[in-house]
A and B are shown apart, each in its own frame.
Chain A
């Protein structure tokens, strides 16, 4: 269960990837800015030198040399270039040493390298240049050093590099921070999971409450853990309950058999003990069967067997099944089901639930009592109510009694109560109905359900 390193690098890597993309964008933007700027500056220079060249060319031939010199004056940054050459290429005026061979004359502005000669010496410079052949064959060159553009280039690149460096630092820091944060969270999750694996089922994954994906995942896992916890607790209690409830009949069987073996002197004396033992084992088996049945119902999630069940008819049928049984105990069993209500459900299971309630009622109501099965409405919902005039249960026992295997002490001698009610509870829960034990004299169980529209 080692997650951290892997998750750590992945966080880090994604941070780096984001940074890389950002850097690429920045370079692209700077590139475009630079390109546009240099195009603009170059166009400006071109316009300027073209204008100077035009004016110089338009002047009188004798004054053209002076005009070039005029243009070159007042140039503290030493960016202006100009020259007048005769048709043989000999310099007549200006600060350009010679006509470069690659220079296209009368071809507009172009970038060339010109050699500058002035009071500071000789220097080759890259420049935008226009060359023009004058009417008398002389060549006029006007240029401007490209340094300004280059300087801007340099400045922009420096700024970009600095910015990128700063961004890289911030990015790395953020990545590291994110990394550490998720690392911590994962370590915490890891720690809790190990606690859970070690058996601390109460542990839950930490949540921050800000609904990020991690949080949602943690909530999901926590929900799952809730289910697992209740399932395991259920299982444990089922195990305990089985052990507890089987111990009694099995002990009785054992004692009975032991005594019979010691005391019986003939086969016929042994027989009752054997019969009793078989009855005891049957009882034990019926407990296991009922438990498995409850389990089965509780684990049923599908509703495919569901159909429209006529509740009144079902109650009458249960009444019909139990009437002779009640009569034997001198109990009056009445069914009051005048409302016709239908419900979505599994008919066999619903029958089993109601039958179990009536079964309990018959068992617990003393002779001469009454049992009533009634179908009624309570607002929107339908209610099946099974009530008797028996001893009922105490206030505190009502909730507990629905829990598996719970038996109210007074009834311990009557077998099967706890299981019967657990079964009813499981069936009711499967259907999404509500089971309640009403506070009333006698035992009153109510199943509330949502009837389907007729």
Chain B
């Protein structure tokens, strides 16, 4: 671990039922449903337990046909699909669903690490792709991100608490204080502001903000984040960027 600025560190618990943008119909239990299509029972068990703990209702299908049936029938909020399944493989399941105009977000899991495979996974209609031997936190963060995909808002000014980002003028300010940002910092902040209150893992940031598909050997994301944070969170201001130890970063309006 590099020498990191003394920073607010907290254990971040994403609670599905308290998600800010969740609109609940009166009288219905506001639980988000996950359909997990995964043939390895042990992996499925771990993932289900973790998701259930975070307040998701998890349904499990152990093969492609079963999964496809359940995806068609039930009202699912998100699909987690293993790439390799007995019978009907994961990509075919997704392709079939997309042909039938089922728009449910899909997170693809795969033991194949190949970049090509990732591209194929996304091309067949998956929305995100995770290589196996992932941390559970990573999975949770991605599920959360997919469920709360930012609406392409036409607003040219993003606001989180006192923080304001003008996309046209390319300026940033926190309350009265103008913040001078480098282009790379501006990109990073924009991405985070569109996903406030969300845990963003290093891999997600690297993939989405920098658009790189490889895993850097150094803690580059931390360094860039450190720079940004020093500019956003002034010495006497309550912190807005939180470093969730070992997991990632969250941008949150000060209480």
Task: Write the chain A residue with the least CB distance to B210.
Answer: A321
CA distance in complex: A324, B184 (Å):
11
Q: In the complex, which residues 203-229 of chain B have their Cβ closer than 8 Å to any Cβ of chain A? A: 210, 212-218, 220, 223-224, 226-227
CA distance in complex: A279, B223 (Å):
18
Contact A325 B220 (CB under 8 A): yes
Chain A residues whose C-beta falls within 8 Å of the C-beta of B184 in the assembled complex:
320-321
Distance of A158 from chain B, by nearest CB (Å): 79
CA distance in complex: A399, B215 (Å):
26
B26 CB within 8 Å of chain A: no
Distance of A298 from chain B, by nearest CB (Å): 12
Chain B residues whose C-beta falls within 8 Å of the C-beta of A416 in the assembled complex:
217
Chain A residues whose C-beta falls within 8 Å of the C-beta of B3 in the assembled complex:
328
Contact B215 A286 (CB under 8 A): yes
Q: Size range of the interface on B?
A: 20 to 34
A275 CB within 8 Å of chain B: yes
Task: Write the chain B residue with the least CB distance to A352.
Answer: B214
A293 CB within 8 Å of chain B: yes
Contact B133 A321 (CB under 8 A): no
B113 CB within 8 Å of chain A: yes
A153 CB within 8 Å of chain B: no
**Complex partner residue of B212 from A290, A293, A348, CB under 8 angstroms:** A348
* Partner-binding segment picked from A28-36, A203-211, A355-363, A432-440: A355-363
CA distance in complex: A288, B133 (Å):
10
Chain B residues whose C-beta falls within 8 Å of the C-beta of A214 in the assembled complex:
none
CA distance in complex: A290, B113 (Å):
10
- With A321-B210, A348-B213, A356-B217 given, is the CB distance from A285 to B113 under 8 Å? no
Would you call the interface of chain B mostly helix, strand, loop, or mixed?
A: loop
- With A278-B246, A324-B224 given, is the CB distance from A293 to B214 under 8 Å? yes
Task: Write the chain B residue with the least CB distance to A284.
Answer: B133
- With A289-B113, A296-B114, A296-B115 given, is the CB distance from A325 to B214 under 8 Å? no
- With A278-B246, A296-B113, A328-B223 given, is the CB distance from A289 to B218 under 8 Å? no
Chain B residues whose C-beta falls within 8 Å of the C-beta of A288 in the assembled complex:
133
Q: Mark B117-147, 1 if CB is under 8 A from A, else 0.
A: 0000000000000010101000000000000
Chain B residues whose C-beta falls within 8 Å of the C-beta of A278 in the assembled complex:
246
Q: Mark A404-437, 1 if CB is under 8 A from B, else 0.
A: 0000000000011001100000000000000000
A12 CB within 8 Å of chain B: no
**Complex partner residue of A322 from B113, B114, B133, B220, CB under 8 angstroms:** B220
- With A278-B246, A355-B216, A359-B216 given, is the CB distance from A325 to B223 under 8 Å? yes
B2 CB within 8 Å of chain A: yes
CA distance in complex: A292, B114 (Å):
8
Task: Write the chain B residue with the least CB distance to A299.
Answer: B114
Distance of A156 from chain B, by nearest CB (Å): 78
CA distance in complex: A36, B218 (Å):
98
Q: In this complex, which of A286, A355, A363, A415 has the most chain B Cβ atoms within 10 angstroms of its Cβ? A: A355
Q: Mark A264-279, 1 if CB is under 8 A from B, else 0.
A: 0000000000010010
Would you call the interface of chain A mostly helix, strand, loop, or mixed?
A: helix
CA distance in complex: A296, B216 (Å):
17
Q: In the complex, which residues 324-349 of chain A have their Cβ closer than 8 Å to any Cβ of chain B? A: 324-325, 328, 348
- With A292-B113, A296-B115 given, is the CB distance from A363 to B218 under 8 Å? yes
Chain A residues whose C-beta falls within 8 Å of the C-beta of B114 in the assembled complex:
292, 296
CA distance in complex: A348, B223 (Å):
22
Chain A residues whose C-beta falls within 8 Å of the C-beta of B214 in the assembled complex:
293, 348, 352, 355
Chain B residues whose C-beta falls within 8 Å of the C-beta of A322 in the assembled complex:
220
A351 CB within 8 Å of chain B: yes
Chain B residues whose C-beta falls within 8 Å of the C-beta of A352 in the assembled complex:
212, 214
CA distance in complex: A286, B215 (Å):
9
Contact B218 A324 (CB under 8 A): no
- With A278-B246, A324-B227, A348-B213 given, is the CB distance from A293 to B218 under 8 Å? no
CA distance in complex: A182, B92 (Å):
54
Chain A residues whose C-beta falls within 8 Å of the C-beta of B131 in the assembled complex:
289
CA distance in complex: A420, B170 (Å):
36
Contact B217 A362 (CB under 8 A): no
Task: Write the chain A residue with the least CB distance to B213.
Answer: A348
Chain B residues whose C-beta falls within 8 Å of the C-beta of A320 in the assembled complex:
184
CA distance in complex: A320, B219 (Å):
15
CA distance in complex: A253, B146 (Å):
34
Distance of B218 from chain A, by nearest CB (Å): 5
Distance of B231 from chain A, by nearest CB (Å): 12
Chain B residues whose C-beta falls within 8 Å of the C-beta of A328 in the assembled complex:
2-3, 223, 226
Task: Write the chain B residue with the least CB distance to A351.
Answer: B212
CA distance in complex: A320, B116 (Å):
27
Chain A residues whose C-beta falls within 8 Å of the C-beta of B215 in the assembled complex:
286, 289-290
Task: Write the chain A residue with the least CB distance to B117.
Answer: A296
Task: Write the chain B residue with the least CB distance to A275.
Answer: B246
Distance of B149 from chain A, by nearest CB (Å): 24
Distance of B107 from chain A, by nearest CB (Å): 19
Distance of A430 from chain B, by nearest CB (Å): 13
CA distance in complex: A288, B223 (Å):
25
Contact A359 B218 (CB under 8 A): yes
- With A293-B113, A296-B113, A362-B218 given, is the CB distance from A324 to B223 under 8 Å? yes
Distance of A295 from chain B, by nearest CB (Å): 9
Chain B residues whose C-beta falls within 8 Å of the C-beta of A296 in the assembled complex:
113-116
CA distance in complex: A351, B214 (Å):
10
- With A289-B113, A320-B184 given, is the CB distance from A325 to B246 under 8 Å? no
Distance of B58 from chain A, by nearest CB (Å): 24
Distance of B44 from chain A, by nearest CB (Å): 21
CA distance in complex: A410, B151 (Å):
51
Chain B residues whose C-beta falls within 8 Å of the C-beta of A289 in the assembled complex:
113, 131, 133, 215
Contact A420 B217 (CB under 8 A): yes
CA distance in complex: A290, B214 (Å):
9
A sample of 6 cross-chain residue pairs with beta-carbon separation below 8 angstroms, ordered by A number, consists of A282-B135, A289-B113, A293-B113, A293-B214, A325-B218, A356-B217
Chain A residues packing against B (C-beta within 8 Å): 275, 278, 282, 285-286, 288-290, 292-293, 296, 320-322, 324-325, 328, 348, 351-352, 355-356, 359, 362-363, 415-416, 419-420
A-B contacts besides A282-B135, A286-B215, A292-B113, 8 pairs, CB < 8 Å: A289-B131, A292-B114, A296-B115, A322-B220, A324-B224, A348-B212, A355-B216, A419-B217
The 3 closest A-B pairs by CB, nearest first: A416-B217, A352-B214, A325-B223
